[in-house]
Structure 1
């Protein structure tokens, strides 16, 4: 699939990993489901972002892609093959099932960055990084609590991902001392949205994508603050949808919210126009390359937290790279970053330190949802 020339040239593409007859050379391996009919396009976009970052900051190593069809069935055999071919670091797999298979069946012998998160703990050289929808839901709960809200109504749409988002928000919300007042499932019947608690200090968490959110939002009293995650935001080119979601607060990445920030502009945009969920995966590839450099150089203490194009990235004790997205609000048809320094933080909760925007700043489409939805 992909390979990068040595430091003397930019990255280039090939169709397959090197055959066994080729002389073994040290390289960085990309394990992605590029042959998958479901995840192939998403994997290709992650690959493009990874290579864009590599071309921007080239390493003296080639980058070789190892393509799979079903990660859960193939990755346990493909990982040691990459190591035998000379891989000194690995990025991937991409799906949750693939990550679980890698962690359960394979000895992790080189720095390895799995591009998804799950319930497993990291091993000595296995780290995790991904666009976790549940992490965004927890961050939204923190932001709402920091704004002084204490009662929440959860509105889901009946999908497995929507249910998981509601559960993640509710768990964090209760930990922070908030009350869950109602849990509603919207199934195209607006009557379930009648009599939403609208007393001061109450809010709605909307676990819905943009299409469903547009149907739900008009039935929510304008006086009730509405919060959501990034799947609600289709980018600032979709002004019609954004006007229908006016005043909704959400979180998303600098790649979409601050495209003109110098720390974002340094990386090239995709040559083809992409929908927002694919832009997010492209940004994931960029930050994955940057994190793998930190792992290779063992510079965790000096380079973390990292101001990534996906958000501010830190590392916890479970070998998970945690991403804090930018708080934003839809105003006049545009998603605009909020200055979180103006939010009050409950004095007894040290976990609610507001996340500032990138220095100098103004304060999910199908494939991405499917990647997040894998059990």
Structure 2
């Protein structure tokens, strides 16, 4: 079966893919000005105002995450209609291009046709695209009865990606993609998003979306706003000190938290905490410690990465509660955790912090247990992108629902006609290398 052969191909090729991907990182291809997907702060080539949330891998500061063993799902019946699990080119299409819109195999009556548009051959985005593809097809293999998926390679050039979208739209019921921010922006500006579309990234400037488009991309700002709501519930009269790193993603996270915190009627201040090569100046840490002693806030929000937060907690202690997004997630290492991070409040994907959740454990993990956290987030994004597309297909086959909700692996997803897509990620407290879930809102 095609699925089995592809799994073998993925095992053999995955390490090479990852090596090539990191070579791109260090070769300087992923600079802040290039026109690709924004996956900061892992620096997957983005401009400073991007809106997706991917964060430093835990292996830089801790042992690699050890995923919880998931029980094998109940055997599923073989779907009658094929789910294609490899890049499938439309007739007349070469790798990285799209020249025709008619599928080689006509789907059976009643089959929903989904096109997954990804820049799989891109030097800078190929690794990210492959992680999304793998997650999408893992979900399709489990839940794809009655659905035909065509993986359509695209260019990371916005104009070429738009042309591919147009041709794929003529042969499919639902489009998933594009992945890069410029391509999403070009699609919105073109006015050609005339098919139900699940975009995998946010446009550079948020605004009104086409009525048939949902944006499923991960968002640093949304995480920060959710952390503010969680902190406000637990500290209704508290003052916050916002620790802010130098990168653009850290500034955006701090700004989003600060704005939401203010909307909720609270006050706070910022403390700049730049670092060089991952090290915070000890003089700055001493200044922070003195400030906390003279004018202690009730809590901290950490718009820094996990390595910087470890230095802060080691220097100033763990008395004050700390809230943050995925950037402060050190990864799951049960029994081998970083004790200086015990008690931190983390907003992140259920895929990473709630591996035993029923909605999470039914999907297979990536084969390599040392897969960096940011690649695991992309894989999880692929799973949920399929679940959203499948729900859209079901709504097309019946009367459209006013709103739909899905317990996804990236969070609780709610979407509907003209309502956009909202995501509530998991809230959890880190201790001894593991996470304890917390009910932190609706």
Same-fold call, TM cutoff 0.5: yes
Secondary structure (helix, strand or coil) at the match of 1:146 reads: helix
Deviation of 1:50 after TM superposition, in Å, equals 0.8
Number of the residue aligned with 2:150 = 64
Matches of 1:300 and 1:200 in 2, distance apart?
Answer: 52
Q: Using the TM superposition, name which of 37-46 and 18-27 deviates more.
A: 18-27
**TM-score, normalisation: structure 1:** 0.82
Q: Using the TM superposition, name which of 145-154 and 179-188 deviates more.
A: 179-188
- Aligned-residue Cα RMSD (Å) equals 2.7
The residue correspondences of 1:302-313 to structure 2 (distance < 5 A) are 304-313=404-413
Matches of 1:318 and 1:184 in 2, distance apart?
Answer: 39
Secondary structure (helix, strand or coil) at the match of 1:213 reads: helix
Correspondence 1:325 to 2:433? no
Check the 8 A contact 1:242/1:333 in 2, yes or no.
yes
The alpha-carbon distance between structure 1 residues 162 and 24, as it changes in their structure 2 partners (threshold 3 A), is: same
Deviation of 1:71 after TM superposition, in Å, equals 4.5
Deviation of 1:37 after TM superposition, in Å, equals 2.0
Gaps of 5+ in 1: 341-353, 356-375
The residue correspondences of 1:156-175 to structure 2 (distance < 5 A) are 156-175=244-263
The alpha-carbon distance between structure 1 residues 17 and 180, as it changes in their structure 2 partners (threshold 3 A), is: farther
Secondary structure (helix, strand or coil) at the match of 2:122 reads: coil
Number of the residue aligned with 1:114 = 199
Q: Using the TM superposition, name which of 219-228 and 88-97 deviates more.
A: 219-228
Correspondence 1:74 to 2:160? yes
Number of the residue aligned with 2:34 = none
Matches of 2:429 and 2:422 in 1, distance apart?
Answer: 22
Correspondence 1:128 to 2:225? no
Check the 8 A contact 1:94/1:116 in 2, yes or no.
yes
Check the 8 A contact 2:244/2:270 in 1, yes or no.
no
Which one of the candidate residues 102, 110, 114 is aligned to 2:187? Answer: 102
The alpha-carbon distance between structure 1 residues 244 and 16, as it changes in their structure 2 partners (threshold 3 A), is: farther
Number of the residue aligned with 2:84 = 11
Q: Using the TM superposition, name which of 107-116 and 258-267 deviates more.
A: 258-267
Deviation of 1:332 after TM superposition, in Å, equals 2.1
Which one of the candidate residues 121, 140, 150 is aligned to 2:227? Answer: 140
Matches of 1:314 and 1:220 in 2, distance apart?
Answer: 40
Deviation of 1:140 after TM superposition, in Å, equals 0.3
Deviation of 1:7 after TM superposition, in Å, equals 3.3
Correspondence 1:286 to 2:383? yes
Give the aligned length: 340
Number of the residue aligned with 1:365 = none
Secondary structure (helix, strand or coil) at the match of 2:217 reads: coil
Matches of 1:176 and 1:324 in 2, distance apart?
Answer: 18
Number of the residue aligned with 1:272 = 368
Correspondence 1:33 to 2:125? no
Q: Using the TM superposition, name which of 182-191 and 111-120 deviates more.
A: 182-191
Matches of 2:316 and 2:357 in 1, distance apart?
Answer: 34
**TM-score, normalisation: structure 2:** 0.70
Gaps of 5+ in 2: 7-77, 93-99, 108-112
The alpha-carbon distance between structure 1 residues 246 and 23, as it changes in their structure 2 partners (threshold 3 A), is: closer
Deviation of 1:252 after TM superposition, in Å, equals 1.5
The alpha-carbon distance between structure 1 residues 241 and 260, as it changes in their structure 2 partners (threshold 3 A), is: closer
Matches of 1:173 and 1:180 in 2, distance apart?
Answer: 8
